[in-house]
Chains A and B, each alone.
Chain A
């Protein structure tokens, strides 16, 4: 059997109609999925930022309260005399 002779019988075909449009569809779909990924990351980053700022705000509030409390205690302990006078 002559391999090359047999293989030369193989017909070469044109790609089917509408193939290019299907390729464009696939490209558009893959680009859309690429766009949605960063959006997710933005949402996560925003949530973490809000959480950090919230905790920071809470910590400052607590610190200020404690400082105020300490100030009042110091004031009372050092100036007890005038408070009664």
Chain B
């Protein structure tokens, strides 16, 4: 009797792990590149990609197909990336609080910048753009990444971000303007 339940339990667990493998094969590239665009440090992107799939596995049982799997996974990846950036900023701030005399650079953007997708090209301009994107507010950053880098249709991007089409349009406009200002400022 016990072995009957055990076999079913193992089968049940194995089914989820099998599902995870399929999901990983289908979406790992998408998640990894999305995390790279947000975090712009290879090691951090790897870390967050792993966390995304752990979260997918843990929530697979509760996943009700209200949104498509792609939208659901995009949302998890965006939330995890933004959480990681917030934690990174907090850590940076606390370090700076303790080292006010040592460092004068209070808003260092990314000391360990390491985006392999940019490094493989010879675009210095691209690096500046990516650094400027990193410094945008979260919602604007997401709008630029989803619509301009991932090149998702506006409707899909709006669904992922949980905003209306119009709201996304105006966020995107603001993001572009801020990005242009920031790049102009960097050139001066």
A residues with a Cβ closer than 8 A to B are 1, 3-4, 6-7, 9-16, 19-20, 22-24, 26-27, 30
Contact = CB atoms under 8 A, between A and B. Distances in A.
Nearest to A26: B54
B123 A6 contact: yes
Contacts of B176: 3
Given A10-B117, A15-B49, A27 B148 contact: no
B117 A13 contact: yes
Interface stretch (B2-10, B24-32, B154-162): B24-32
A18 to B, nearest CB: 10
Contact of B53 (A4, A16, A23): A23
Contacts of B33: 12-13
Given A3-B148, A6-B129, A20-B24, A11 B54 contact: no
**Interface on chain A toward B: helix, strand, loop, or mixed SS?**
helix
A7 B129 contact: yes
Nearest to A24: B17
B50 A23 contact: yes
A14 B183 contact: no
A10 B149 contact: yes
B21 interface: yes
A30 B176 CA distance: 41
A47 B143 CA distance: 55
29 contacts: A6-B125, A6-B126, A7-B149, A9-B121, A10-B37, A10-B121, A10-B126, A10-B149, A11-B121, A12-B29, A13-B29, A13-B116, A13-B117, A15-B28, A15-B31, A15-B32, A15-B46, A15-B49, A16-B46, A19-B32, A19-B46, A19-B49, A20-B21, A20-B24, A23-B20, A23-B53, A26-B50, A26-B51, A27-B20
A7 B28 contact: no
Interface in B98-130: 116-118, 120-121, 123, 125-126, 129-130
A19 B54 contact: no
B58 interface: yes
Contacts of B183: 1
Contacts of A14: 29, 32
